[in-house]
Amino acid sequence: MRKGFGYLRKHGIRKTVSRSLLELSMRLDRTIAPDCSGRPAISAMKDSASANKSIITMFKEQVKQIENPRILELGSRAVTKESLRDMLELSDPYDYVGLDIHQGPNVDIVGDAHELTRLFQKEYFDVIMSKAIFEHLAMPWKVVLEINCVLRQGGLLFINTLNTYPLHERPWDFWRFSDDAWKILLNDHTGFEILSANLEFPCKVVPDMYVEGYEMNHEAYLNANALARKIDNYSRDNLKWGISIKDILDSDYPKHD
């Protein structure tokens, strides 16, 4: 009960009610449609939560080892999500830059993540992080290369994005990621090594109609996370992408105040 009131004070009535309804639906789901794999759904949830906690803990600990770190957050506008800046719980001096495609709370610079090298010096940041942004990037492979350019050697990259989630922020909702996707985006050629990656928050996708051959208890998760380190500059001879957002899109990212 005390824990519930604490959550209410911190997050407000809307998030508290939503969380309660979600927990109720999950309990009903486990009762009506148990996991056919034989492993209890609650066990899978604890496993993924523990794995995610270890990634975040590793990220926080490594950031705290950097003296006066320069930190860039992509998609920093504080509208519907909790701040990664607060999650780091940094007390020592640090330099923080919040970048977003729109002006708003917690935004220092308005700009496009696809064009980081036009906004910042090369190898300027010690840490680059993003939450719920990579699914909205038109060309995430290009953003990874831009990140490589403005991140110092040995710098940290933390990404939180989606594996399974309803469509949102349309028409700028482009991608979903598995834990294996990071091997394609973050590798020797793009100049990164993956320190840890995981999927979190097991879920079920239920179609509105009968689909032959569709199993109700397939494996799915809400989020995908990755922590990586820059080990080299990316291979510019092999990786070239001169196309800009304006070349392929005729819309702007939706702005919700």
Shared domain check, 190 and 76: yes
Dmax (CA) of the chain: 59
- CATH code, 66: 3.40.50.150
Shared domain check, 191 and 77: yes
- Which residues have C-beta within 8 Å of that of residue 256, sequence separation ≥ 6? 79, 80
Shared domain check, 76 and 5: no
List pLDDT tens digits, range 227-252. Answer: 999 999 998 888 888 888 788 888 88
For the residues 141-153, what does the mean pLDDT come to? 97
Interatomic CA distance for residues 162 and 255, integer angstroms: 20
Interatomic CA distance for residues 173 and 175, integer angstroms: 6
List pLDDT tens digits, range 4-60. Answer: 555 556 656 665 555 565 455 545 444 434 443 434 444 445 555 565 568 999 999
Shared domain check, 115 and 7: no
Total tally of structural domains belonging to the chain: 2
Shared domain check, 173 and 210: yes
> Which range, of 75-84, 87-96, 194-203, averages the lowest pLDDT?
75-84
Helical residues (DSSP H) of 65-125, grouped into ranges: 84-88, 116-119
Q: Give the closest residue to 85 by CA, choosing from 55, 123, 129, 41.
A: 129
Band (105; pLDDT cuts 50, 70, 90) = very high
% of the chain surpassing 90 pLDDT? 53
62 backbone dihedrals φ, ψ, rounded to 5°: -70, -35
What pLDDT, on the 0 to 100 scale, is given for residue 36? 38
Shared domain check, 205 and 131: yes
> Quick check: is 156 in a domain?
yes
Q: Which residue has the higher pLDDT, 81 or 32?
A: 81
Shared domain check, 5 and 59: no
pTM over 0.85: no
The CA-to-CA distance between both ends of the chain, in Å, stands at 33
89: containing domain: 40-248
What pLDDT, on the 0 to 100 scale, is given for residue 158? 98
